[in-house]
Amino acid sequence: MKTIETIQEEIVEEFSLFEDWMQRYEYMIDLGKSLPLINEQYKTDTYVIKGCQSKVWVHAELKEDQLNFTADSEAIITKGIIAILIRVFSNQHPKDILTANTDFIDRIGLKEHLSPTRANGLVSMIKQIKMYAVAFQTQLN
Amino acid sequence: MFDVKQVRKDFPILSRSVNGQPLVYLDNAATSQTPKQVVEVISDYYYRYNANIHRGVHKLSQEATDAYEKARTTIQTHFNAAHPHEIIFTSGTTESINVIAAGYASILSKEDELLISALEHHSNIVPWQMLCEKTGATLKVIPMTKLGTLDMEAFENLLNPNTKLVFVNHVSNALGTINPIKEIIDKSHQKGAKVLIDGAQASPHIKTDVQALNIDYYVTSAHKLCGPTGVGMLYGKETLLKKLPPYQGGGEMIASVTFEKTTYADLPHKFEAGTPNISGGIAFGAALDYMNKIDFEAIASYERELLIYATDALKKIDGLKIYGEASEKTAVISFNVGTIHPYDIGSILDQMGIAVRTGHHCAQPIMDFYNIPGTVRASFSFYNTFEEIDVLDKGIRKAILMLQ
């Protein structure tokens, strides 16, 4: 089982190979296409992340003591970003998700998506993932 | 003679780069850029005569007051209002609308009806919904057509003697449609209704004569027309503004205060409580001076050429659909390509230094009408060039290649 930090380092490493923004975005678009799709039943307003320009749905399930995330979005680049987040946070213990640092996003050149003015809501997505972790951590206690 | 190269020298921001590419700024409907001439007016105010206005006996206060009131006169002249005190300084279009909405709260009753258009910005929908909740009045909507114009026949059928107020934007922010406000005003007046025109999107492109059109209320923001943010205006006919109660209580808006009763100041101060955005007001006047010097006729005809050029270019892109195809429109192109989400196109264009707006443009009812999540909107200004449209054209094509 890889730790969140290890996975983040792997992603930073992968992104460091790209020479320009086009390669970075093409990679994200590919990632978006491979996103583990959310079960249609969860694509409702209950699971939608508010404040995003494109609709984003995130669902979490606890398997033993690990959280498993599935998600979807109307926009492909947004899906790519979610795919990266899911790779980092899925199959991790809620406690580790809660304490995880998310600086790696800056390091892979996606800083512009972190700005609160960005309506794609990367910040909201991370917040939502951490909210799930809080909720399930309480359950585990 | 209009010379875009010359004009661009007034806007230092246009020569910066974004993501390593020269900036192509096509989000003018959201906010326009500010020329040196206007920025200098703001810094000059702070360097030389920053003071609170209207109350001070000292020299600086008098100079600031004179400059502020001169700006009011500039705005009055520009819109051809009958009196300077018919121009109320506000923080912007939204506040201007809210001043009127708040005023009508004490005037409207249950039987009354308000009519708004389906092309409105949220800021011109929500205050009226709140007003209707408060007063029990009914809000009715003038429907739109597929072309993005107002259904004028439906409008006439909706008008009746209970209609007290009609609210229409002069130009739709999401689609660029220029609405037939003269006809709307005349027909509304025949039924005794007053008309508020939201000029936020029109005022950077069209010089409006409020008396010739017999407009009751006209509102706009300075930042749409080369001025700073945080300042705007409410024009109202003197007779109408006198009947409206003040918007906020505070300093400046009073004539005398005792604990028993306060008498309100005359127009325009009745609506200008507290210390206003003084440098902003002065710069608003400077922005109008700047644009008038370039000349609104020249601006309109150049922007029309830009619009035709861009429309022709973009229409050649496979799968690209333009929303808003009224014969009368400002230089705005709202579009989608196939099923690609507007956000994706906007993000890729941003990487190429091209600034456009994506989303519902605060006009969700229009997006619902077309059953789309939003659009990509490129909005042009007189300082944009044909070369920039070529960059946009190429950029969209590249984005499509990446996204499909």
> Does residue B241 lie within any of the structural domains?
yes
Q: Give how many domains chain B has, as a whole number.
A: 2
Q: What is the ipTM of this complex?
A: 0.86
- Residues in B lying within 8 Å of A, measured between beta carbons: 19, 340-341, 343-344, 347-348, 350-351, 358-359, 373-374, 402-403
Q: Give the pLDDT score at B251.
A: 65
The whole domain housing B303 covers: 4-27+295-403
Q: Give the pLDDT score at A116.
A: 54
Domain with B347 in it: what CATH number?
3.90.1150.10
Q: Give how many domains chain A has, as a whole number.
A: 1
Q: Helix, strand, coil proportions of chain B in percent (round to 5)?
A: 45, 20, 40
Residues with Cβ within 8 Å of B362's Cβ and at least 6 positions away in sequence, in order, are B121, B122, B123, B173, B174
The whole domain housing A88 covers: 4-140
Q: Give the pLDDT score at A114.
A: 57
Gap from A93 CA to chain B (nearest CA, Å)? 32
Domain closes at, from B293, B316, B331: B293
Same domain, B389 and B248: no
Active site residue B362: yes
Same domain, B236 and B332: no
Residues of A in contact with B351 (CB under 8 A): 21-22, 25
Same domain, B11 and B82: no
Q: Give the pLDDT score at B97.
A: 93
Please pick, among B362, B364, B390, B403, the residue that the annotation labels catalytic. Answer: B362
Among chain A residues, the shortest Cα distance to B21 is held by A21
Helical residues (DSSP H) of B48-196, grouped into ranges: 59-79, 93-104, 126-135, 152-158, 181-190
Q: Give the pLDDT score at B195.
A: 98
Same domain, B254 and B355: no
Q: Give the pLDDT score at A124.
A: 81
Which residues 82-111 in chain A show a CB within 8 A of chain B? none
CA dihedral (B41, B44, B48, B53) positive or negative: positive
> Does residue B160 lie within any of the structural domains?
yes
Domain closes at, from B268, B293, B318: B293
Strand partners, B138: B113
Residue A76 has its nearest CB partner, among B344, B350, B373, at B344
Same domain, B262 and B343: no
DSSP for B285-305 reads HHHHHHHHHH-HHHHHHHHHH
Gap from B397 CA to chain A (nearest CA, Å)? 14
> Which residue ranges of chain B lie beneath pLDDT 50?
none
d(CA B178, CA A40): 42
> Does residue B34 lie within any of the structural domains?
no
Domain with A92 in it: what CATH number?
3.90.1010.10
Residues of B in contact with A25 (CB under 8 A): 347-348, 351, 402
Q: Give the pLDDT score at A120.
A: 53
Same domain, B205 and B183: yes
Q: Give the pLDDT score at B196.
A: 97
Domain with B251 in it: what CATH number?
3.40.640.10
Q: Give the pLDDT score at B194.
A: 97
Among chain A residues, the shortest Cα distance to B350 is held by A112
d(CA B152, CA B141): 12
SS3 at position B194? strand
CB contact under 8 A, B343 and A77: yes
CB contact under 8 A, B402 and A22: yes
Q: Give the pLDDT score at A118.
A: 57
> Does residue B32 lie within any of the structural domains?
no
Q: Give the pLDDT score at A52.
A: 63
Backbone angles phi, psi at A58, to 5 degrees: -130, 135
Residues of B in contact with A112 (CB under 8 A): 350
- Percent of chain A topping pLDDT 90: 40
